[in-house]
Amino acid sequence: MKLQFIAIAISTGLLTACGGSNSTTTEPNPPAPPEPVVPEINNPQAFSGKLVKEGPTSFETYLKNGIYTALGNYSTEESAPVAVPVTAPTADSAGGNGRFSGTNTQEQGVDEADRVEYNGTHMFIATQPVWRPDAYEQPAVRILQRNDDFSMTEVDRIELDEENTNITGMYLYQQSLSVVSSGYPMMTFADIAALTLPEGAFQDAINLSIYDTSDPANNSLATDIDIEGWLIGSRRIDNNIYLISAFQPRIEGLNTPESDEQAIATYNQILDTPIESIMPTITVNGVESSLNNAEDCYIPEAAGEDDGYAQIVSVTRINVNDSSDIESMCMSAYADISYMSTENLYLAAYTEGGTNLHKISIGDNLDYQASGEVSGYLGGNNPQLRLSEASGYLRVVTTDWRTEDNEHKLFVLEQSGADLTQVAVLPNDEQPEAIGKPGEDIYAVRFIDDKAYIVTFLRIDPLYVIDLTDNTAPAIAGELEIPGFSSYLHPMENGYLLGVGQEVNGGALPETGSAPVIEPVTPTGMKVSLFDVSDPSNPLELATVVRENSYTPVEYDYRALSVLKLDDAYRFALPMETWGSEEDEAGNRIWSTQSKLIMMDVNAASGQGSLTVTHELQAINDPEYYIGAWDDRSVIHEDNVFYLHGNAVWHSLWAKDAEANGPY
């Protein structure tokens, strides 16, 4: 108080010396500092529209706001419903062309990770995890050598260094094998029964292990890479592997605040946290660094200073031949579907208004290009097949389940600056015919050159052929209605198409002029159809193969289909699981399954299309535990075929009643 009085006296004296008034004055008390207030951060939402890179401050604010709202959207007052990403309701393209088949992919030249790789002399198999009552068998990579008689001999086995991992797929390029794996909880039956999670049982990281396979019997680890986060997807083009990952930053010690004081303290703690400590990391051969720099990350242009989203999506390119050649770009956004052409990567995400799309070029550098939005949602077992890029246009097929009749649309988008702008939509005023009948859902989509093929289904299977010769004016060229449905469509030359799906009962077409019979429609078994679509206005079903009480994983994962092209002929191999039951002596019904590989030949010469089953190779299930067919694979090598069921391989000739050899 004395120091304050002296300061006032000195001040008064100076005023008097300068001829000021002799009246006495008192200095007003300084204003009190403002009371801390609860931060008012908007509820998180996945913004549509373009992304921008405005510097580390805006990205840091957006990310940290998102961390705060992720704690529980604390508010002392009742808040509006949180706008979060909408989850949609559930409801090499030509394969091998040479001596042996390869991974069946969406786009030629864009490889997709799979659990089996083959180079003609050696087969690399990612084993499935095996849970036994008292132990867990860690996934590994088996290396089998093909002998002269096409029998197999295991020459090496790669045990992954990381514990608690699941191999999501592999890439084989020249003399390197890249194994992509990610962590997830590993529990014994005892853990499951006790509903406990073992300590350290979850590894929130993606691992890419690159092995030198120049000597397949003595593989060595060349590069080991860990990226924090979880895997959205991956692709390979030549020597570059692209990993699309998502990461949710965490700050230790944060709890959902229960009062104003706690909310203020929590928000300040988040603001005081260095941005580097909440960015995802990458570890290359034991050396850790930041995967991305904050100043290089994108946020939605529509976001304000009170918005936030606590998720970082990164796209990382890795040169398998040079561990120092790694590039990554990032955005604070939401994405869960990836599609890649040979030139661009597209990320898709559900928003409240539809599907948001981001385009990233993958040329010399990873560069964000543009964003756009379409109404409706991607769906089905292979949603990435609803996307296709051709001649600079992005074609997208969506379904809006919020409408009464499941409205399906085909959009054509083109980049204009940083926007993906709509240049066409089907149906439209000039082409009003709907895609699908009322209530039908889409079961398969395939873009092939300047055509789109769409299968819808409710009671019967309409196959629509859409002409995209002019991408700015799409039109339905033809339609075929048949019983059953296709879940996957595979292209062939000369206007042939292979459809894989299910036959149904109760879906018979009515006689001309008669009313349809309304009865329950139930899938009855696997159906393979050969279509002739050479005349788009008159698609035809030439032949079918039906197996009752069965399914094939090709319906859900097109990588399960093996294809070998031989001039105008194709060889197809697809796994199948059949189920049945019988009564024992006590009258109890005993269910059993059989796993087979169906080997089919297709004559695709113009005007001579035919489909025949050549052989069915049966695998023997391990009696100790059930092995499903969902991860079964096969490889066709000239007149030989290998069938991978579980972690074992069978071999057979491509001939009727050929003997099965194995398992290896």
3-class SS letters over 235-256 = EEECCEEEEEEEECCCCCCCCC
| Cα-to-chain-centroid distance, residue 246 | 12
Q: What is the mean pLDDT of residues 470-476?
A: 96
Same domain, 383 and 477: yes
Same domain, 485 and 360: yes
Same domain, 553 and 617: yes
User: Could you read off the pLDDT of 270-283 as tens digits, one per residue?
Assistant: 999 999 999 999 99
Has residue 243 been placed in a domain? no
Residue 412 near residue 357 (C-beta atoms within 8 A):
no
Residue 95 near residue 108 (C-beta atoms within 8 A):
no
* pLDDT at residue number 52: 94
Same domain, 656 and 560: yes
Give the Å distances, CA to CA, from 416 to 126, 343, 374, 419: 43, 17, 15, 5
Same domain, 556 and 495: no
Has residue 209 been placed in a domain? no
Q: Helices 260-272 and 56-70, interaxial angle, to 10°?
A: 140
Here the tokens at position 67 are: 């961390």
Confidence of residue 207 (pLDDT cuts 50, 70, 90): very high
Report the range of poorest mean pLDDT among 415-419, 456-460, 506-510.
Answer: 506-510
Alpha-carbon distance 461 to 502, whole Å?
10
Alpha-carbon distance 26 to 511, whole Å?
103
Has residue 241 been placed in a domain? no
Has residue 420 been placed in a domain? yes
Angle at 404 between CA 355 and CA 398, to 5 degrees: 25
Beta bridge pairs of residue 640: 637, 653
| pLDDT at residue 316 greater than cutoff 80 | yes
* pLDDT at residue number 352: 80
Here the tokens at position 122 are: 């050696």
pTM: predicted TM-score of the whole model, two decimal places: 0.87
Residue 494 near residue 506 (C-beta atoms within 8 A):
no
Last residue of a domain, which of 499, 514, 534? 499
| pLDDT at residue 607 greater than cutoff 70 | yes
* pLDDT at residue number 35: 63
Has residue 492 been placed in a domain? yes
- Return the percentage of the chain with pLDDT > 90, whole number: 65
Q: What is the mean pLDDT of residues 456-483?
A: 92
Same domain, 556 and 622: yes
Residue 346: name the closest of 359, 334, 333 by CA: 359
Confidence of residue 84 (pLDDT cuts 50, 70, 90): very low
* pLDDT at residue number 483: 87
Has residue 375 been placed in a domain? yes
Return the DSSP state at 108.
Answer: T
Q: How many domains does the chain have?
A: 2
Taking all residues of the chain, what is their mean pLDDT, rounded to a whole number? 85
The sign of the torsion formed by the CA atoms of 469, 472, 477, 483 equals positive
Confidence of residue 199 (pLDDT cuts 50, 70, 90): very low
For residue 193, which phi and psi values (nearest 5 degrees)?
Answer: -65, -35
Give the Å distances, CA to CA, from 131 to 106, 135, 186: 33, 6, 9
For residue 110, which phi and psi values (nearest 5 degrees)?
Answer: -120, 100
Same domain, 376 and 472: yes
- Return the percentage of the chain with pLDDT > 70, whole number: 83
User: Could you read off the pLDDT of 103-143 as tens digits, one per residue?
Assistant: 999 999 999 999 999 999 999 999 987 766 666 678 899 99
User: Could you read off the pLDDT of 28-45 as tens digits, one per residue?
Assistant: 677 666 666 777 888 887
Buried/exposed code over 111-132 (b: 16+ C-beta within 10 A; e: otherwise)? bbbbbbbbbeebbbbbbbebee
Q: What is the mean pLDDT of residues 217-234?
A: 95
Same domain, 563 and 439: no
| pLDDT at residue 378 greater than cutoff 70 | yes
Alpha-carbon distance 137 to 235, whole Å?
28
| Cα-to-chain-centroid distance, residue 312 | 16
Alpha-carbon distance 58 to 305, whole Å?
8
Residue 316: name the closest of 389, 384, 240 by CA: 240
* pLDDT at residue number 402: 86
Confidence of residue 482 (pLDDT cuts 50, 70, 90): confident
Report which residue type is found at 503: E
Same domain, 566 and 484: no
Has residue 461 been placed in a domain? yes
Q: What is the mean pLDDT of residues 46-57?
A: 82
Give residue 401's domain range.
349-499
Alpha-carbon distance 644 to 562, whole Å?
12
Report the range of poorest mean pLDDT among 122-136, 300-314, 514-528, 619-633.
Answer: 514-528
Same domain, 560 and 478: no
Last residue of a domain, which of 482, 499, 516? 499
Confidence of residue 200 (pLDDT cuts 50, 70, 90): very low
Query: Which residues, other chains included, contact 254 with Cβ-Cβ below 8 Å and sequence gap of 6+?
Result: 67, 71, 266, 269, 270
Has residue 298 been placed in a domain? no
Last residue of a domain, which of 464, 499, 534? 499
| pLDDT at residue 75 greater than cutoff 60 | no
Question: What is the full DSSP assignment across 127-148?
Answer: PPPEEETTEEE--EEEEEEEPT
Same domain, 485 and 358: yes
For residue 258, which phi and psi values (nearest 5 degrees)?
Answer: -115, 5
Alpha-carbon distance 538 to 154, whole Å?
51
Same domain, 569 and 658: yes
